[in-house]
Amino acid sequence: MTILLTGGDGYLGWPTALRIASRTDDRVVLVDNFARREWVENVGSRSATPVAPISERLDAAEEVLGITNLSFVEGDLADKEFTDELLGIHEPEVIVHAAAQPSAPYSQINGERANYTQHNNMQATRNLLWGLEEQDLTDTHFIETTTTGVYGAPEFPIPEGGATMENQGEEDEVPFPAMAGSWYHLTKSHDAANMRLAHQQFDIPISDVRTSIIYGAGTDETQADERLATRFDFDYYFGVVAHRFAAQAVAGYPMTVYGKGEQRKPFGSLEDAVEGLARLALMDPEERESGHTVYNQVTRPISIVEVAETIADVAGEFGYDVAVKHFENPRDEDETHEMEIENDRYLDLIDEQRVTFEEGMRETIGTISEYEEIITAHEDRFLPGVLED
């Protein structure tokens, strides 16, 4: 059996690969084109944690963790010829598709980056799905990390999957409407629709894992050796809000809450995200939910103000004196939105939440405080507009 994991050099992909490979003797093939490293460099930033070359990562996985079933292929999934060759050679029985340009702010910079984001993300997914159909691999379990951002911010509880639409006294179950708020998030709305269509037309088993804002600097596997560390981005474009706040705390820079900060966002730990993907990848076909399944990968919605206050409190435990300041919100969003989101299917998958937000921030600050000099040297990357400097 072969498990193909795309985005294998990334923040989520790399620790997921280590978790999967440590639990099976089957081949785990990683694919990446190292674009994330280039994107972050292009915005003038870098990962706070040193990211080793992939060859060193693989060597460390064997030396430290005893993992011998990991291999790596460099290539661009937006290239159909490459993707077809990849599928033809390895004939995966499971694909964990985590490759994407994942930044909403990056996709909003200008038309060039919006076009790139949409082409890169959607073309890769279409190439994989059509590749499975054209090479008679439609029994392959296709797992993709989309995003809870496809839901937008509706004024009702978000379902874990479809929605019930009513019109003129009649109702039916329909796919949740695309309510994405950025050019990036819309790529995942399209991916979700394309996966549904691929299941309907090709009968490919689909797990659509709608990923929340993930927090955490590592897992047990990535923290076993510095060479195994996953990346930790903290700039405005690629650092999620919790990571940016944590880095600002370490740098002695006021935490920037945009607007009122009362809006709740969906959060989940890196540990929980990795565990969910690993369980899906290794699940016996007879045990997993058949057909097309949506998982809301979120453990708790948290307000931005609570995020900031929690990080300030935890940072204080490490001797950092942190201020929280409010700035004008550059995003068009409801600053008081009380998000409610169903996640029963996802919690059943992982059994229970493993890392709370407070615990995750304690681990995060403990890790990145070792790289305070790197963060401080790039503190001008915390705020929007840096590409215009």
Catalytically annotated residues: 147, 184, 188
Query: At residue 345, what is the residue type?
Result: R
Task: Give the Cα separation of 126 and 93 in Å (integer).
Answer: 18
Angle ∠(350,368,308) on CA atoms, nearest 5: 70
DSSP line for 47-73: -SS----HHHHHHHHHHHH---SEEEE
Tokens linked to 360: 């995750």
- Which of helix, strand or coil describes residue 206? strand
Task: Give the Cα separation of 312 and 352 in Å (integer).
Answer: 26
Task: Give the Cα separation of 34 and 26 in Å (integer).
Answer: 24
Question: What is the phi/psi pair of residue 29, to 5°?
Answer: -105, 120
Question: CB of 95 within 8 A of CB of 143?
Answer: yes
Question: What is the phi/psi pair of residue 372, to 5°?
Answer: -60, -35
Task: Give the Cα separation of 42 and 19 in Å (integer).
Answer: 30
Task: Give the Cα separation of 383 and 389 in Å (integer).
Answer: 11
Q: Which residue has the tokens 């709370």?
A: 356
Tokens linked to 156: 């009702």
User: 133: which strand partners?
Assistant: none
